[in-house]
Amino acid sequence: MLLLRILLVGFFLFASVDACSPSDRAALLAFKAALQEPYLGIFNSWTGNSCCGGWYGVSCDPETLKVTDITLRGESEDPIFEKAGRTGYMTGSISPEICKLDRLTVLVIADWKGISGEIPKCLTKLSPLRVLDLVGNKISGEIPSDIGNLNSLTVLNLAENAISGSIPASIVNIGSLKHLDLRNNRITGEIPSDFGKLQMLSRALLGRNQLTGSIPDSVTKMYRLADLDLSMNGISGLIPANMGNMPVLSTLNLDSNRLSGQIPPTLLNNDGLGILNLSRNGLEGQIPDVFHPDSYFMALDLSFNALKGPIPNSLSSAKYVGHLDLSHNHLCGSIPNGSPFDHLEASSFTNNDCLCGNPLRTC
């Protein structure tokens, strides 16, 4: 009898190691009930009480046994995907019951292609949340207006959905935010004028939306920003003069907007800016003759603007220019000799007013 008691105690102790709290388990099951995943059996393991050990994509704090992490990716190298020979597909919506997981720090429900509905507004009450990644679904509605309450958030990825409305003004209060990706949605309105308050931000990817207004001057004071994508919007006005002085900016995509005025010289003599795309705007004036031996452009695209005058001779002094496109402008004069011009094709220079020289017609 004593041996039986010992065995029973040991069994229950072992079983309780992987058991999350009843309230967390109920919240997970409600979250599961609102989703349908027909091909991979992602939720087949979500049975019993061992939600901290055996439930796919769920992790817990080992001391409190509270759920801290839900990571469900529809595109993964996990064996469950390799065995099925396909990527994931899931429909349904994100249940507000998930907000009862009050210790949640990571919520990734990414690339399932068919999840719809809105972002539960109650998510903004999950103060421990550090990562919110809902990329690659069909989520609609607006970004919760009080998203700025998530003071611990470092990653906000809502790209490739059907989100509408404007960028909430409160977003600038997320002082810890490092990665912001809102690309390929239906977001309208202007970029908040005090967007530059996001001093920890290293990537701001807002392309392929319906944003209007101008680029806020405050952006030029974001000293950790390395990658800025505002492409394929309706942004107008001038490019801020000090944008080229941003110390770690390496990729700047402003193409397919309604920008006007001249190209700030600081953009072209910044030796850290490796990818610059200003194509398909209304930029005027001459290309600043400010290139130097430390200039290093993997891609420089100024096509489809209203630029005039000659191609700067100083571009020949650049250390490296990989892809260069100056086509569809009003440039005139001789194409300089030497690198990088000796490896470029005619398509880099076509549809200008009177350019000549290799690889175009002889002057």
Q: Confidence band (pLDDT; 50, 70, 90) for 4? A: very low
Question: Is residue 6 included in any domain, yes or no?
Answer: no
The one-letter code for the residue type at 300 is L
Q: Are 190 and 166 within 8 A, CB to CB? A: yes
d(CA 346, CA 341): 10
The CATH code of the domain that includes 128 is: 3.80.10.10
Question: Is residue 185 included in any domain, yes or no?
Answer: yes
pLDDT at 174: 98
Whether residue 6 has pLDDT greater than 70: no
List of residues 6+ apart from 117 with CB closer than 8 A: 92, 93, 94, 139, 140, 141
H-helix segments, the chain: 2-17, 22-33, 79-84, 265-268
Question: Is residue 13 included in any domain, yes or no?
Answer: no
Q: Confidence band (pLDDT; 50, 70, 90) for 1? A: very low
Q: Are 25 and 97 within 8 A, CB to CB? A: no
Span 178-228, pLDDT tens digits: 999 999 999 999 999 999 999 999 999 999 999 999 999 999 999 999 999
Question: Is residue 1 included in any domain, yes or no?
Answer: no
Q: Are 265 and 289 within 8 A, CB to CB? A: no
Full strand arrangement of the beta sheet holding 308-309: 308-309, 330-334, 354-356
Q: What are phi and psi of 49, to 5 degrees?
A: -105, -5
Question: Is residue 124 included in any domain, yes or no?
Answer: yes
Total-model pTM: 0.93
Query: Containing domain of residue 334, as a range?
Result: 30-356
In order of 128, 135, 174, the CA distances from 147 in angstroms are: 13, 17, 8
pLDDT at 78: 85
Q: Provide the number of structural domains found in the chain.
A: 1
Question: Is residue 7 included in any domain, yes or no?
Answer: no
Question: Is residue 11 included in any domain, yes or no?
Answer: no
Question: Is residue 344 included in any domain, yes or no?
Answer: yes
Whether residue 3 has pLDDT greater than 50: no
In order of 19, 24, 67, 349, the CA distances from 58 in angstroms are: 12, 11, 7, 54
- Secondary structure of residue 346 in the 3-state scheme: helix
